[in-house]
C-alpha cells in the first residue's frame, strides 16, 4: 500500500526554520509599511483585486470539475 502522507515527520515546516521566520517578519514589516504609508494606493487597488478574485476563485474552486461529477453520476440523484 502506498503511503499517502508525503511529509517527512522529522523535518520542520518551512515557516518554522530560521529563514522562514526572517521571511515572515520581513513580510509583516513590509505589510505594515505599505498600509501605513501608502493607504491611498492600497485602497485604490482594492477594486482591481476584487475583479481579479473572480477568475481566481473560479479557477481554484472548480478544479477537477468534470472528474468528480462523472464518478458520482447517478448516486444520490434518485430518492
Model confidence pLDDT, tens digit, residues 34-52:
889 999 988 899 999 999 9
Q: Which residue has the higher pLDDT, 41 or 69?
A: 41
d(CA 57, CA 50): 10
Domain count for the chain: 1
pLDDT at position 58, please?
A: 87
Query: Cβ contacts of residue 15 below 8 Å, gap of 6+?
Result: 21, 23, 24
Residue 71 lies inside a defined structural domain of this protein: no
Residue 77 lies inside a defined structural domain of this protein: no
The reported pTM is: 0.46
* CB 24 within 8 Å of CB 15: yes
Residue 44 lies inside a defined structural domain of this protein: yes
Host domain of residue 26: 15-61
pLDDT at residue 32 tops 70: yes
Residue 9 lies inside a defined structural domain of this protein: no
Residue 46 lies inside a defined structural domain of this protein: yes
pLDDT at position 59, please?
A: 86
Amino acid at each position: 500500500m502506498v503511503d499517502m502522507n508525503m511529509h517527512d515527520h522529522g523535518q520542520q515546516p518551512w515557516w518554522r526554520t530560521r529563514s522562514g521566520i526572517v521571511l515572515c517578519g520581513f513580510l509583516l514589516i513590509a505589510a505594515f509599511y505599505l498600509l501605513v504609508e501608502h493607504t491611498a494606493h492600497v485602497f485604490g487597488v482594492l477594486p482591481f483585486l476584487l475583479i481579479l478574485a473572480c477568475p481566481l476563485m473560479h479557477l481554484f474552486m472548480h478544479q477537477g470539475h468534470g472528474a468528480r461529477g462523472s464518478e458520482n453520476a447517478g448516486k444520490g440523484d434518485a430518492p
